[in-house]
């Protein structure tokens, strides 16, 4: 069974950095775009970043653009979300997801495999 396992979340002070990882088992990682989403308490899940299979096409939400960077190592079946200049409003559970095809996408409906989520808490 295909699994996505996220890691790297934790507690950090505002202005700090964290790097999230998303490791996929099996060959599910192949030829699939990747997305990162987050959900804060009492709010709907929202788009954060996306990265095509090739790594050449990326997209970010306005709220994280310039602070977060998505990347992937296809040889290791692992994706990453480098988060810098973190703000208290970045506090949320972060999810990685693999898409139905190789493209990047802003829509969560384009993704069919989801990780379990990792908590990121930014203190002020």
Q: Where are the beta strands (DSSP E) in 18-102?
A: 18-24, 34-39, 46-51, 58-60, 68-73, 78-83, 92-99
pLDDT digits (tens, 9 = 90+) for 23-76: 998 777 889 999 999 999 999 999 999 999 999 999 999 999 999 999 999 999
Does 103 have pLDDT greater than 80? yes
């Amino acid at each position: 069974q295909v699994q996505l396992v996220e890691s790297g979340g934790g507690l950090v002070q505002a202005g700090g950095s964290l790097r999230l990882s998303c490791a996929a088992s099996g060959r599910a990682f192949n030829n699939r775009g990747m997305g990162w989403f987050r959900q804060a308490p009492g709010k709907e899940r929202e788009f954060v970043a996306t990265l095509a299979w090739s790594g050449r096409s990326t997209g970010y939400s306005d709220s994280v653009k310039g602070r977060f960077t998505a990347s992937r190592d296809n040889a290791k079946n692992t994706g990453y979300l480098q988060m810098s200049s973190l703000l208290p409003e970045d506090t949320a559970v972060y999810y990685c997801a693999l898409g139905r095809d190789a493209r990047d996408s802003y829509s969560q409906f384009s993704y069919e495999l989801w990780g379990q989520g990792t908590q990121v808490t930014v203190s002020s």
